Amino acid sequence: MKKERRARWVSAIAGVGVRLLARTWRVREVHQGKRDIVRQHEQPVIFCLWHCELLCLMWNFRKLGIVVLISEHGDGEIASRAAESMGYRTIRGSSRRGAERALLALAREVEGGAHVAVTPDGPRGPAESFAPGALIAAERSGAPIVLLRAVADRAWRLNSWDRFIIPKPFARLTIYIGEPVFVRTGSLRDAASESPTFQALMRELPVAAGG
C-alpha cells in the first residue's frame, strides 16, 4: 500500500512537471515511409525505441491508445502510471522478469489490432542494445517492426545507465519514424538472431530518414 501511494504521488507530480515542460517543445516528425504509420489503424505495428528517448516519444504520441511494455523492476509502477496518464495502455514485464507472459500479451494485443511499443534495451541495458523480444513478438503475430528515434537540440542527460534524455525548455525535437519492416524468418529462434540487424537500423535511422 505504501509503495502504491508513493507511485501515485510521484507519477502525479512528475506528470505536472512534464506537461509544463513539454508544452514548450517544438516538434517535427520525419517519416521514412510515405504515410503516417503511427496514426493509421489498418495495420497494427510494433514500435521499438531506445529507453533514453522514451520521454520524448511518449509525449509526442500520447493519447493514441498505444500499448506499452513497462518493466516490473524498481519504479515500473511509477512509469506505468505516468504512461497511463498520457493515454497509453500498459503490459508489465521485461526481458528478465515476466518475459514469456509479456511476449504473449504483446502478440495478443497486436493480433487484436493494437499498436504496441517496446524499449529493446530496457529496463537496465546495456544502452542501445537490441534484445530480441520485439522480434519474437513480430514473428509470432505477423506485425511489422517500426523503429522510432528522437533527437533534441538541447537536453539534460541523467546520470543513469541509459543517460536518459530530458529536453530543455523550448528545445527543438525531431522525431524519426522508420518504414515498417516485417520479420519473416520462419522460426522464433531465427527471428531472435536478427537483433544485430535491427540494432544497426535503429542507430542509423536519423541519417536514413533524412536527418
DSSP symbol at 181: B
What's the pLDDT band for 9 if we cut at 50, 70, 90?
low
Q: Is the peptide bond before 126 cis (omega within 30 degrees of 0)?
A: yes
* Least trusted range by pLDDT, from 33-42, 97-106, 190-199: 97-106
pLDDT digits (tens, 9 = 90+) for 129-182: 999 999 999 999 999 999 999 999 999 999 999 999 999 999 999 999 999 999
The answer to whether residues 190 and 145 touch, using CB atoms and an 8 Å cutoff, is no
Give the integer Cα–Cα distance in Å for 80 and 68.
9
Q: Look-up: residue for cell 500500500? A: 1
Among 204, 150, 201, 207, smallest CA distance to 175 is for 150
Strand-pair category, 155-157 with 165-167: antiparallel
57 alpha carbon, distance to own chain's centre: 7
Strand-pair category, 172-177 with 145-152: antiparallel
Half-sphere exposure of 110 (CA within 13 A, CB side): 28
The H or E element that residue 27 is part of is strand 26-31
Give the integer Cα–Cα distance in Å for 128 and 67.
21
Say which residues have a Cβ less than 8 Å from residue 207's Cβ, sequence separation at least 6: none
Q: Terminal CA-to-CA distance of the chain, rounded, Å?
A: 47
Work out the average pLDDT over 192-197: 96
What's the pLDDT band for 82 if we cut at 50, 70, 90?
confident
Q: Is the peptide bond before 123 cis (omega within 30 degrees of 0)?
A: yes
Residue ranges covered by each domain of the chain? 2-208
Say which residues have a Cβ less than 8 Å from residue 173's Cβ, sequence separation at least 6: 25, 26, 27, 28, 56, 60, 150, 151, 152, 153, 167
Beta strands (DSSP E) in 120-181 are: 145-152, 155-157, 165-167, 172-177
pLDDT for 158 equals 94
User: Rounded to 5 degrees, what are φ and ψ at 108?
Assistant: -65, -40
- Assigned C-alpha cell, 61: 504520441
Give the integer Cα–Cα distance in Å for 40 and 47.
13
